């Protein structure tokens, strides 16, 4: 029996981050958390590529394009979808999650799901550097672990 645990050594790795512009009050904090965590793990700032897209729904396509470029070892997708008064929230959350899962399973590199799906702005703030931690930073550690798992 063999156990494998990926490590978080980011030296010599190239990481892509796709970020939704919608709710940028939140997504900028997620991005800052991811970038800081990657750099603490040894990823050079010059080896972090960030692509901005209009909203969460566009994240899967951007992640697919970034992964196909062969310029990154892993991808972090960051967004924030906050429930409103219409069913739009349900569609965006569902399709974004499905799309990113598909890209991660079928693509050449791991893709981390850093899209907050919350009922309120306060909940999103708490998960973007508030008392709930920073989901961007969590995804940074996770993408490094996934990269280091055996192929």
Domain range annotation of the chain:
55-69+93-117+129-151
- Tens-place pLDDT, residues 79-125: 999 997 777 888 999 999 999 999 999 999 999 999 999 999 999 99
pLDDT computed for residue 88 by the predictor: 83
Predicted local distance difference test score (pLDDT) of residue 5: 77
- Would you call 148 a catalytic residue per the annotation? no
Q: Please state the pTM of the whole predicted model.
A: 0.95
pLDDT value at residue 79: 98
Q: What is the pLDDT of residues 12-22, one digit of tens each?
A: 999 999 999 99
Parallel, antiparallel, or unpaired for β 15-20 and 111-118? unpaired
Q: How confident is the model at residue 11, as a pLDDT?
A: 96
Parallel/antiparallel/unpaired status of strands 15-20 and 48-53: parallel
Binding-site residue set for 5-amino-6-(D-ribitylamino)uracil: 22, 56-58, 80-82, 113
């Amino acid at each position: 029996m063999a156990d494998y645990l990926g490590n978080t050594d980011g030296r010599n790795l190239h990481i892509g981050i796709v970020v939704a512009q919608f709710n940028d009050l939140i997504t900028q904090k997620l991005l800052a958390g991811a970038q800081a965590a990657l750099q603490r793990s040894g990823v050079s700032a010059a080896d972090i590529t960030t692509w901005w897209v209009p909203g969460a729904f566009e994240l899967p396509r951007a992640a697919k394009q970034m992964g196909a470029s062969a310029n990154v070892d892993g991808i972090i997708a960051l967004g924030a979808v906050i429930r409103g008064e219409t069913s739009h929230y349900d569609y965006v959350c569902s399709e974004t999650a499905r799309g990113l899962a598909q890209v991660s399973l079928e693509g050449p590199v791991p893709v981390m799901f850093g899209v907050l799906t919350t009922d309120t702005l306060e909940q999103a703030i708490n998960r973007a550097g508030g008392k709930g931690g920073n989901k961007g930073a969590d995804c940074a550690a996770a993408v490094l672990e996934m990269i280091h798992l055996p192929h």
